[in-house]
A and B are shown apart, each in its own frame.
Chain A
Amino acid sequence: MFSKILIANRGEIAVRIIRACKEMGVSSVAVFSEADKDSLHVSLADESVCIGPAPAKDSYLNMSAIISAAVATGAQAIHPGYGLLSENAGFAELCEKCKIVFIGPSADLIRKMGDKDIARKTMQSVGVPVVPGCDMITDPESAGREADRIGFPLLVKARAGGGGRGIRMVNAAQELENAVAAASTEAQNAFGDGAVYMEKYLSPVKHIEMQVLCDKYGAVVCLGERECSVQRKRQKMIEESPSPAVGEKTRQKMMDAATKAAKAVGYTNAGTVEFLLDTDGNFYFMEMNTRLQVEHPITEMVTGIDLVKWQIRIASGVPLSFTQEEVKIDGCAIECRINAENPNANFRPSCGKISFLHVPGGPWVRFDTALYQDYYVPPFYDSLIGKLIVHAKTREEAIRKMQAALCELVIEGVEHNAELQMDILNDKEFKSGDYYTNLIEKRG
């Protein structure tokens, strides 16, 4: 086991990882930007190193500063959290070269799964269904032919895509040329790779993802699904596990597909296989996330398995101590993301000093956050300030518990979306479980 780990992230996820380290007796090193010097993760860690000015590109994305901090403190491994450098193959490779263990899969694997074209083809080759689509677009004529074959509406997607960028919807043939050009330009600017392909636009669909854990000795377990269909502009808002729409048969099929996918690429550490599930119960591979997910706590709640601790154990070479048969999904967990934004002003981000904070409590209520009284929420980063997670025997009970917990959550000083979350939880469609990724759009 590593005796010291550096956490190359900030906010609630840095706090979450430091907590795991404390339980495991591992020393933790926090890195922080000048804007984050008073952050919770800095005080909570055993050591802390300032890695640069406020903008993320100069600090949390500054690879040389982070590697220097690891060398200076003698950290044997780096946990990248989610976002920032977590899916950066170049960073993982750099860690390998500097004899630092990157807590995640290998650089090669990150690169492979980051290329949507390779990822699709790999999945197809092992019999995992993918969304009907085509290979990379080479010229307008073949694009037109392929589009007719796929059928409208369709999506033009960037090979290097991520975060919803480089995607365009096409409703009719005459829109195709412009959409291809726009998606390609956007992808070229965002990722330095303008290659695009097409995929059938499926609607209505549910976003269902499967959590896998793979050790270094070929053992793969699937920890069930998370449903993340409550999304606004492709950003998830509420997640739940298990999904109310996934029956035992479908679950088994999807878990098999996810396990097969992970085995096919020789995956190690924690990963998530994302699928789209249509109303007829057909599911299609979308992409594989080679990192810890924001919504990982709901899987932890229903399985009782600490994903972050297992990430660290796997990276240090510990074999999985449980088998697929021993994984039991118990009850239902829901997570609401609490963002510092104003839903009534077009979700304008908010920042400022937390003048009052009350964190909900009670049985099976968990609030993952880096907030504390008098903390100043800086304007430079992601608007996620907390994740409220509840666990109960049934879905209905979990929704009730979440309503109660949201009532108790008081954050004064910044605007946030807790009220909106209560409205969504109270939505008829959400309550019925029969809701799709267009739920927020439909609500207007």
Chain B
Amino acid sequence: MLTKELFRRPKNELENYNKHFKAVLPDVPNELCVLCPVCKQTLFTGSLQENANVCPKCGHHFRINARQRIDMMTDEGTFVEFYGNILSKNPIQFPNYDEKLKQAQLASAEKEAVVCGTAKISGFDCALFVMDPYFMMGSMGTVVGEKITRIFEYATEHSMPVVGFTVSGGARMQEGILSLMQMAKTSGAVKLHSDAYNLYLAVLTDPTTGGVTASFAMEADIILAEPNALIGFAGPRVIEQTMRQKLPAGFQRSEFLLEKGFIDAIVNRKIQKATIARILSLHTKGESE
């Protein structure tokens, strides 16, 4: 067996030694690395982005913002944003809400928690809404409800399918009952869109909870979800505390919901665009005779 002590060290001085030379020590810039919260593997942001923000080791789907998702899912240069200038107010004078909105706008670089518009997905036209987790965890206030309602109305008017990506902590408590009313309003718009024989496809991403789950997220004709996404109404901690029972492993995760029939399929982010395009192709109206 070889040991470290087996070999002597040569008595050689460093070649071309220059005492004025200042060595640069290695240093990993913070923004270069991320830790996968599931497998604890250190990942480089560059390679993570190339892999659709999915951990190459364990397949964990990292949260991404609305613009990243739009880039990933739509054909380049086809996205046209609608209703981009509607801003939230503080309708019930909730303390510190104005400040919170400002911070959320800074954190997400978005004006509100949902981005709406039209785009082409592999050549198929659709109306699109994409929620943003970095704006108050995609919570639904009056503006989010309004924008989603309007995009459904637009799609109904133009006989277009709607593709929606949800991520939300639920209704926005800072807007009180007004935010809860958005559940009914958006549901009404979804119903009218559906009654006009249009397709609505939702992709639920981690987390989709509360009032969003209880309204438009679960009302789609076809519901897809990302792997291991938390999808539910009340969160698991609240349920445990109320029921005083331990919940089964994987409770409210997309795999559990698929098993129980709440969603139609779990689709890895890397094949989502192709899957959505295929579904859209199957639901495109043929030429009338």
Contacts and interface: CB of A to CB of B under 8 A. Distances in A.
Interface of A: 1-3, 22-26, 38, 40, 42-44, 46, 63-64, 67-68, 70-71, 74-76, 90, 94, 97-100, 313, 316, 318, 372, 374
Interface in B13-42: 13-18, 21, 23-29, 32-33, 41-42
Nearest to B47: A90
Contact of A71 (B3, B24, B26): B26
B44 A63 contact: yes
A43 B9 CA distance: 12
Nearest to B24: A99
Top 6 closest pairs, chain A to chain B, by CB: A25-B12, A25-B14, A43-B2, A64-B42, A24-B15, A100-B26
B27 A44 contact: no
A64 B2 contact: no
A99 B32 CA distance: 12
Nearest to A76: B23
B3 A76 contact: no
A412 B43 CA distance: 43
A40 B6 CA distance: 11
B1 interface: yes
14 contacts: A1-B14, A1-B16, A24-B12, A24-B14, A25-B12, A25-B14, A64-B41, A68-B28, A68-B42, A75-B26, A94-B44, A97-B32, A99-B24, A318-B16
B18 A43 contact: no
Contacts of B27: 71, 98-99
Contacts of B24: 76, 99
Contacts of B244: none
Given A22-B10, A43-B7, A64-B42, A1 B25 contact: no
A38 B12 contact: no
B46 interface: yes
Contact of A40 (B2, B28, B32, B33): B2
A1 B17 contact: yes
A310 to B, nearest CB: 12
Contacts of B2: 38, 40, 42-43, 372
B260 interface: no
Contacts, number: 80
A68 B15 CA distance: 27
- Chain B interface, >50% SS class: loop
Contact of A67 (B7, B23, B28): B28
Contacts of B6: 43
B29 A3 contact: no
Contacts of B246: none
A97 B29 contact: yes
A25 B13 contact: yes
B9 A46 contact: yes
Nearest to A100: B26
Contacts of A42: 2
A44 B7 contact: yes
A98 B45 CA distance: 13
B17 A43 contact: no
B4 interface: yes
Contacts of B43: 64
B25 A64 contact: no
Contacts of B1: 38, 374
Contacts of A26: 14-15
A316 B14 CA distance: 13
B286 to A, nearest CB: 30
Contacts of B32: 94, 97-98
Contacts of A70: 26
B7 A3 contact: no
Contacts of B13: 25
B41 A23 contact: no
B10 A98 contact: no
Contacts of A44: 7
